[in-house]
Amino acid sequence: MATDTPASYRSLVIYEIYVRNHGPNGNFADVEADLPRIRSMGVDVAWFMPIHPIGQVERKGSRGSPYSIADYREINPEYGTKADFKHLIETAHGLGLKVMIDVVYNHTAHDSTLVKQHPDWFHQDAEGHAVTTVPDWADVIDLRHPNTELSDYLIDCLKDWAEFGVDGFLRCGVGCAG
């Protein structure tokens, strides 16, 4: 925690939610139905593991890892729609909960929208193919920071989600599973 973190933030209770495993259907409706119980436990912030579409290429298992993100600006269709997530946020806010999402800005799926549009934003091997810098994480390829254009794009994604109603973000850094 930073030394200048406001005292009111230091005792917030954060509840992590993995939509896929939250409820019988693993979708936003299941989470939304559970928000009153979550709030009743004294929770202040509902923190969502990545909610974005999962890549298909080099996918781990049949459903893939939520950290293999195909598009930072979209919702995993297994969880519902943007309208469903918006309604969930509104319900959370109505209960006095803040909503935070996990953003994974160090790598993407092999078939992400970014690798198609901006292959130069990725670490590359000698043949120019996007690669991961962590061999065990075969389902992802690493973004190459620093890069002003990439940073601007990622900041714009955060702004879009903030305008959508998300209150905060957790940036997944070194040590996050791929």
Peptide bond into 146 cis (omega under 30): yes
| Pair of tokens at residue 27 | 């979708």
- Burial classification of residue 5, based on how many CB atoms lie within 10 Å of its CB (0-12 exposed, 13-18 middle, 19 or more buried): exposed
| Pair of tokens at residue 25 | 């259907």
Residue labelled with tokens 């139905």: 33
Helix or strand run (H / E) with residue 140: strand 140-142
Relative to beta strand 140-142, strand 107-109 is: antiparallel
The per-residue pLDDT string of the chain (178 residues; one tens digit each, 9 = 90 and over) reads 678 878 888 889 999 999 999 999 999 999 999 999 999 999 999 999 999 999 999 999 999 999 999 999 999 999 999 999 999 999 999 999 999 999 999 999 999 999 999 999 999 999 999 999 888 889 999 999 999 999 999 999 999 999 999 998 886 544 444 4
CB-CB contact of 79 with 19 (8 Å): yes
Cα–Cα distance between 14 and 44 in angstroms, integer? 6
Q: Which of 121, 82, 118, 114 is nearest to 101 (CA)?
A: 82
Q: What is the pTM of this model?
A: 0.89
For residue 101, the cross-strand partners are 48, 169
Cα–Cα distance between 24 and 30 in angstroms, integer? 7
Helix or strand run (H / E) with residue 129: none
Residues 6+ apart with CB under 8 A from 94: none
The domains located in the chain, with CATH, are: 7-171 (3.20.20.80)
